[in-house]
Amino acid sequence: MNPLYHASDQRTSIIAAPVPEQLNKMIKKTLNRLKIHLESPSNRSLKLQLVLGIVLMLVSIPAVINSLEKSNYPGELERTQLGFDGEYIRECFSGMSQEEFKMFLYGNLVDYLFLASYGLIFFSASLLLARRFSENSLGRKIGYSVTVLGALAAVSDGFENIFIITMASNPVGFPIWLAIPHSVFASIKFNLMYVSAAWIGIAFCFTLVRRMLAPVSSPVIELEA
């Protein structure tokens, strides 16, 4: 064996070996910090956030629907948000008037209230339900994860809106490729929303059934990992 090669290989191993260990430490440190942040809000503050989210949703949904209806935007959800098709979006824009564009832009701006509302609902409801499970249990770990996913759904929705607003600001000459990140963020949003909503529904039903079956037992649920 070439001694120079052997020495070089040893140096490479010495340099590369600590990387996985450092990465694991960084991941654990990040997760511990996240856990601390998720455990810091009181149940009272989370319930207030939940109520605020519901109020915002009740206010924003009619405003968004009304604005988009008045805009007469003819695009279909599957082809607009999930179609990765800039030509189709441009075609939808082609028949709209200036007033209709104003309503379309207004509706997408008001949509930020809607995404803030369901972000608050997912975050607070997931965290409240996660705390119904015992410490270090599988249920609590899943709940903490879904808390983050629900917030990320709202963030993805915000980025999605940036791209559609950018395209609507220049309906004839916007770059076709803008439809790709627009649909990417829309896909991420919907998937995270489905996961979050499914977890909240399952966890709520689970806690409700446990309470009905054992009304005198502790409200903390044991679901071990």
Judge whether 15 lies within some domain. yes
- pTM, two decimals, is 0.82
Judge whether 224 lies within some domain. no
* Residue 35 shares a structural domain with residue 46: no
* Residue 88 shares a structural domain with residue 140: yes
Kindly list the distances between the CA atom of residue 134 and the CA atoms of 32, 36, 49, 84, 202, in Å, as whole numbers in the listed order: 17, 16, 23, 43, 16
Residue 156 corresponds to which amino acid? S
* Nearest C-alpha neighbor of 56 from the set 126, 13, 110: 110
* Residue 126 shares a structural domain with residue 65: yes
Q: How many distinct structural domains can be found in the chain? A: 2
On the 0-12 / 13-18 / 19+ scale of CB atoms within 10 A, 95 is: exposed
pLDDT in tens, 25-48: 787 777 778 778 888 899 999 999
* Residue 51 shares a structural domain with residue 149: yes
pLDDT in tens, 20-29: 788 777 877 7
pLDDT in tens, 111-167: 999 999 999 999 999 999 999 998 888 889 899 999 999 999 999 999 999 999 999
Q: Which domain holds residue 28?
A: 1-40
